[in-house]
């Protein structure tokens, strides 16, 4: 099994080879789930990659992601926290819902891109896109399993 320094060098070589210009780390808050040794190794790896590749690092996650980064002074200076607003029931949200509906492999159209449905969905998902996606996926599964083949109030009420 390769040791950590060997894996770091391999990651560095691969990232250089493909010409990475920005490194985005999603679900960064999950670093807090590891023990202190694993957290430190991961944060050291981020710092190492940022230094060696001289590329921007973008961390995405919950508020806990910032807590994870704050535990490393050098990394904290490289990240500028930005809070994303929760979604509101408006035309942009309806457009997002239409995109979700179009991407789901259901046989019937899902009437979810309305302001009424947006308000309902945003209430259920607390306005976050991750929770919204989870809810719509669960409703799509219910729609397929029930033979409904569309997301509607009935399939949504049976989901989650």
Tell me the per-residue pLDDT of 81-94, one tens digit each, with 9 for 90 and over: 888 889 999 999 99
Q: What is the percent of the chain where pLDDT is above 90?
A: 65
17: pLDDT strictly greater than 90: yes
Q: Under a CB-based contact definition with an 8 Å cutoff, are residues 79 and 107 in contact? A: no
Domain borders along the chain are 4-76, 91-158
2: pLDDT strictly greater than 80: no
3-state secondary structure of 156: helix
How far is the C-alpha of 89 from the C-alpha of 104, rounded, in Å? Answer: 21
How far is the C-alpha of 113 from the C-alpha of 4, rounded, in Å? Answer: 48
Greater model confidence, 18 or 42: 18
pTM, full prediction:
0.67
The 10s digit of each residue's pLDDT in 135-151 is 999 999 999 999 999 99
The 10s digit of each residue's pLDDT in 54-76 is 999 999 988 888 888 888 888 88
| Cβ-count burial 69-79 (b if 16+ within 10 Å, e if not) | beebeebeeeb
């Amino acid at each position: 099994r390769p040791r950590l320094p060997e894996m770091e060098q391999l990651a560095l070589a691969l990232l250089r080879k493909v010409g990475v210009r920005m490194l985005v780390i999603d679900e960064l808050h999950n670093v807090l789930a590891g023990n202190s040794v694993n957290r430190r190794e991961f944060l050291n790896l981020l710092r190492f990659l940022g230094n060696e590749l001289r590329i921007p690092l973008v961390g995405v996650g919950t508020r806990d992601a910032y807590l994870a980064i704050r535990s490393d002074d050098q990394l904290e200076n490289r990240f500028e926290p930005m809070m994303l607003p929760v979604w509101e029931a408006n035309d942009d949200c309806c457009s997002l819902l239409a995109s979700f509906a179009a991407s789901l492999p259901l046989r019937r159209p899902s009437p979810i891109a309305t302001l009424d449905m947006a308000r309902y969905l945003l209430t259920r998902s607390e306005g976050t896109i991750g929770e919204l996606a989870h809810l719509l996926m669960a409703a799509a599964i219910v729609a397929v399993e029930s033979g409904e083949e569309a997301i509607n109030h009935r399939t949504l009420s049976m989901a989650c």
